[in-house]
């Protein structure tokens, strides 16, 4: 059984003591394992998509690209493309189906953020 042991020193008028607690963390460990397995499945799905996928934080920092996304835009590694969204405006041009060039604030990712 996985356990967590806590030891806390206590000073009283009668002297110094140590309060010990032992907690069964079996459920926490099971939950952590389920989460790890879920994250691994999601990562497998993301990496095996035929479409390019980009993951960004709320500040526009691009955190992850799947392999098809890297390949489509000519990157060979994650390090090359971990830029903030405004930096991409200098590299890429996005346009609508009729050829109208989109401003950065009109890019789909910028609108979501």
Quickly state the pLDDT bin for 111 (edges 50, 70, 90): low
Higher-pLDDT residue of 69, 31: 31
Q: Check whether residue 8 and residue 25 sit in a common domain.
A: yes
Higher-pLDDT residue of 28, 73: 28
Which candidate, 35, 41, 65, 36, places its Cα nearest to that of 53?
65
Q: Check whether residue 36 and residue 62 sit in a common domain.
A: no
Q: Check whether residue 62 and residue 111 sit in a common domain.
A: yes
Q: Check whether residue 13 and residue 68 sit in a common domain.
A: no
* Residues spanned by the domain of 70: 50-113
Q: What percent of the chain is modeled with pLDDT above 90?
A: 48
pLDDT the model gives residue 58: 74
Instruction: Give the position of tokens 């609508």.
Output: 96
Q: What is the mean pLDDT of residues 25-52?
A: 95
Tell me, what DSSP letter sits at residue 35?
H
Question: Considering its fold, how many domains does the chain have in total?
Answer: 2
């Amino acid at each position: 059984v996985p356990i967590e042991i806590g030891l806390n020193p206590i000073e009283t008028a009668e002297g110094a003591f140590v309060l010990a607690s032992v907690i069964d963390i079996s459920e926490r460990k099971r939950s952590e394992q389920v989460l790890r397995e879920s994250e691994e499945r999601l990562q497998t799905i993301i990496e095996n998509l035929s479409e390019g996928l980009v993951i960004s934080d709320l500040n526009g920092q691009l955190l992850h690209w799947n392999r098809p996304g890297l390949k489509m835009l000519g990157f060979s590694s994650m390090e090359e493309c971990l830029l903030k969204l405004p930096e991409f405006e200098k590299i890429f041009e996005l346009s609508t189906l009729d050829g109208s060039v989109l401003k950065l604030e009109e890019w789909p990712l910028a609108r979501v953020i």
